[in-house]
Each structure stands twice: as structure tokens, then as C-alpha cells.
Amino acid sequence: MSGEGPPRAANSAPAAGSAAAQRQAWGGQTTAADLSAAELARAPLGRPTRHPDRYDAALLFAVPRAPQRSALGIGSALPFSGADVWTAYELTWLDEGGKPQVALATFEVPADSPSIVESKSVKLYLGSFAQTPFAGMTDVAATIEHDLTHACGARVGVTLRGPPAFGSQSIRELEGESLDDLRVACTAYDVEPGSLSANGATTSQVLTSRLFRSVCPVTGQPDIASVQIAYRGPRIDREGLLRYLVSYRCHAGFHEHCVERIFVDVASRCRTERLTVLARFTRRGGLDINPFRTNAGAPNPDNVRTARQ
């Protein structure tokens, strides 16, 4: 990672002492190999915070992936590839004449990055652009890419689309056969992998559900998603798969970790030869997060929002 500083905004210097104050209060851009519950409690998520409107990269709070992956038996050799694709709907800044500008932003965080960024810290970070002049959209994108790359420890792709492109944004539901009309009794509401099973001849299927819900591990707020599972292997019992997805309903976990747990559980218990898991979560704070994991060599999906997003 380059030691060069971020691209400079037209007036990019944060208020005096603000970066130092945030690092002291929240631990700054944490990149340690581990992050304890006490350290996570210092993150801005779930706490009253100021809402700065002058650019401040120190607002980003990184959360290492390793501890949660270790709990799933995932080591340094990942069993999947993929990315976490974020969409930011509320990005705004000033041009050099002081006129507000707006754009939709997409961030692609690679699955092999050492860290993710905590969502409220991203909200606060993007909010800090509001009263900061930039020379143009290219400079804004380059600044965000530099800062997210530094926080995550791997290159994060950033794309900005201005108002002329807004009309081309479409809505599309996830492809596949829905599980949601199955008549099943659900009694487990914290992850129950024992519901999963597969038998019979090898098949290839794409299955979906809009019934997924988990909760934020810090605030307890609900996280709602549509989930798509594409696999090749013994036929997965659909009722059991739906019960399994519903069993996340009261589970506390970050979006990315929930998708990786689904991947690990389905791959192990259903003995899949190839597996792809995509979840598209509804937005909170003007951000949606869409984790994608695959061992089938599938490319990252198009970032097309569902109706609920």
C-alpha cells in the first residue's frame, strides 16, 4: 500500500484536532489482527456522535475479518472469492464555487481484504464531504478510494455516477426459485445449521428467499435482506434450507459474517460441489451492503438494487 497521502480536495484540511480526537475516542482506522468486544464498543455504531461536515478520513473505523472467520473455521486460505458491494445514496460535496454536487457511489471491498469498515463510520465519513470543496467528481472518487483502501487493507474499487446517470438505475429482483411459499413450521430464531440436508442425484439450482433477517451485533437493529443461493451438488432439502435462513432472525452478526456463515454451513452440510451466496440488504443510513461469496468462479454480480432497497 502506497505511503502517499490522499488526493487533495480544494479545501480538504479537517477542522483542527478533529482527526486526533476521533482516533482517541474510537481507536481510529483500526487494522490490528484482532478486535475485542471492548474495542468494538468504541466504534461510533450505536453511540451518540457528532456529524462533521468537513472532510475527515479518521472517521472510518475498520473491523478485522479474522476473528469472525476463525469462529467459522476459516483460516488464511479462503474457501471462496467475492466482494462486499456497497451503494451510497446520499453522497454530496461542494464544487470549487461552493455549489453542492451529488452522486450515487458504489464501493467494492474484496472478500480477501483484512478488514471491513463499520457502517455508521462510513455514513459519518461520507457526511464529512458535505461542506468540503472538491475540484470535481474524479477527485471525490479518488479520495474515497484512497481512504477505504487504507482502512480495509486492500484496494477498494469506487465508482461515482452523477445525476445524468440516475435515470438508468434499475430495479431487479434476484433470479431463482423462491422458497418463501413453502409451508413450513419455524421454531428456531438463532442460527440452526442442523436444519440443512441434501440427498439424491447431483443437480444445479438457484434458490432465493426474501425472508432473511438478522440483527446488528451492536445496536440490535434489524437487518433485512433477500438471499440467493446457487449450487451444484446433491439436491438440498428446500424446507430445511428455508428454516435455516429464517433461523438468523434474532442472530447478531454483521452482514458480511452472516453471508460467510451461510456459505460455510451450506457447503459443509449439503456437500455442494460449487456454491455461490449473495445477499442484498436493505439500506440503513443511506447505505446498502451486498456481500457475495463463491467458489464457482462466478463474477461479481451487477449492482442492481431490489425493490426493497
Residues serving a catalytic function are 216, 223
Beta strands in the chain (DSSP E): 62-64, 81-94, 100-110, 115-117, 157-161, 177-178, 198-215, 222-236, 274-281, 287-294
The single-letter code of the amino acid at 72 is L
Let me know: does 218 contact 160? Beta carbons within 8 Å: no
Strand order in the sheet with 198-215: 157-161, 100-110, 81-94, 287-294, 274-281, 222-236, 198-215, 177-178
Let me know: does 276 contact 231? Beta carbons within 8 Å: yes
Task: Give the residue carrying C-alpha cell 428456531.
Answer: 188
Identify which of 66, 267, 251, 92 has the alpha carbon closest to the alpha carbon of residue 163: 92
Rounded Cα gap, residues 9 and 6, in angstroms: 9
Q: Give the SS3 label for residue 47.
A: coil
